[in-house]
Each structure stands twice: as structure tokens, then as C-alpha cells.
Chain A
């Protein structure tokens, strides 16, 4: 059982990381955006492994249903760039025109992966304490009910602040997108 779990985790992780690398290196923007779908689905699967089922569903609803559709719209409304990119040809796939950016990204990856691998050796105190008290979220727990309760009680202030911020973003986006001559 644990073997299957680990295999599925590694499959999802490799799909997520591999298609993320393809997304950031691909020349064709339309294909990159559609590959971004795959990344988001795979990351939603990874959330399930961290026992965050509601977060995974929200990820699929908001990212795939909303953000990606918006990005596809913006891409289609500004697609003169795509034709230029395509006409340049695909000769230099591994030529890495931005080697300094690649170097920075690899350096970041090194630091972050090192820190991630060290977390088992130097476990934070609160995690050790939670393990000792057996206060770890289990697969049988009803996370959706608990999340709803905590959003309405302990996290009420952040919830309200987020609602105000969404209102501001709505008004701001509508203001930015309006026609200039119809003031």
C-alpha cells in the first residue's frame, strides 16, 4: 500500500516538475499555457497527498477554471508576439539565451533543496511537539468541516480582509480595462 502511495507521489511530482520545466522553456506560448493546465492538475494531486482535499478542489476550480481561461484570453488578444516567436524558428532549443537567469534559478534551487532536505535532521520544535501530542491531520479527518469552522471563527479577520481586497481588485481591473474615450 505504501509502495503504491510513494509511486503515485513520485509520478505526480515528476509530471509537475517536468511539465513546469517544459512550460518555462517552450517557445510556443499556446502550448506552454495548455501545459500549465497539466502542472496545475499535478500540483492539485500533490495537495491531496498533504491531506488538503479542499485546497486541491479550490486549486482546480480557481486556477483551471478561472486564471487559465483569463490567461488564454489575454494571449489571444495579444498574439502578434506568438507569430514573431514562431518565425524565429526552433533551432536553438538548448542554447539558453538567458544563461544568467538559468544560473540564478539553479542557485535558488540548490539553496531551497538543501534546506528542504535538512528539515528532517533539524525538525522545528512545533512539529516535534505536534508529533508527540499526536496532533497531526490524519486521512480520516473531516478537513472541510474543520476548515469551515476555523474560517468563520479563528480566521474571520483575514477572511474579511480578503473579501475587501477582492472587491478592490474587481474595481481596479474594471477601471483598467475600460475604454479610454468614454470617461
Chain B
């Protein structure tokens, strides 16, 4: 039988991988992929705990809301990344140091 602990451990592994990508990768798009991995890990936790909430289905409903929020965040973040690339000709977060021109 698949218990709650199984889901939590898989979610922890995905979250750690996403955290490594956010901290270590030198490409803004892959940093975004890391954030998506972390969001997926948290949605996995929401869904796994949501199994025990039969009256309101809170876990699954808020998992859906989290997916929608992730989609909105990605749309705005990619627009920002493309603008940064147009200005600096790079998407390496370490090379982008100035807030203004």
C-alpha cells in the first residue's frame, strides 16, 4: 500500500533538486525550471494530504489553484527573461548586476 510517507519523500527529493537548480544553474530559464520543480513537489504534497479531506476536497482544489498560479508566474517570468536578454544579450543571472541602464 502506498502510504503518505512515500509521497512526502518523493516530494522532498523533487524539492531538493529544484532548490539545487535555483541556486546553482547559470541560465535563467533553468532557474525557472527549478522553481517549477519545487512547485510540483508542493502540489504533490497537497494532493497526498488532500486524500484525507473528503468533505471539502481542499488539497485537490488548492492543487488546481497552485497549477494556475504557476502558469501565470511562468508567463510573466519568461516575458521578463526575454526583455533582459534583449537588453544584456545574456540570461546568466550572475552577469545581470544593474537595476537601471
Contact = CB atoms under 8 A, between A and B. Distances in A.
Interface of A: 2, 5-6, 9, 13, 16-17, 20-21, 23-24, 29, 32-33, 36, 39-40, 43, 46-47, 49-52, 54-55, 58-59, 62-63, 66-67, 70-71, 73-75, 77-78, 80-81, 85, 97-98, 100-102, 104-106, 108-109, 112-113, 115-117, 119-120, 126-127, 130-131, 135-137, 141, 143, 146-147, 150-151, 154-155, 158-159, 162, 165-166, 168-170, 172-173, 176-177
Given A147-B60, A155-B61, A162 B69 contact: yes
A165 B71 contact: no
A55 B48 CA distance: 12
B76 A173 contact: yes
B34 A54 contact: no
Interface of B is mostly: helix
Interface of B: 1-21, 23-25, 27, 29-30, 32-34, 36-37, 40, 43-44, 47-57, 59-65, 67-76, 78-83, 85, 89-92
A23 B21 contact: yes
Contacts of B72: 165-166, 168-169
Contact of A71 (B12, B51, B74, B76): B74
A108 B9 contact: no
B76 A172 contact: yes
10 contacts: A6-B1, A24-B24, A47-B43, A59-B43, A78-B81, A108-B19, A112-B8, A130-B53, A151-B61, A168-B72
Given A23-B21, A135-B55, 7 more contacts: A5-B2, A9-B6, A43-B44, A63-B71, A71-B33, A100-B23, A169-B76
B39 to A, nearest CB: 10
A98 B20 CA distance: 9
A173 B81 CA distance: 11
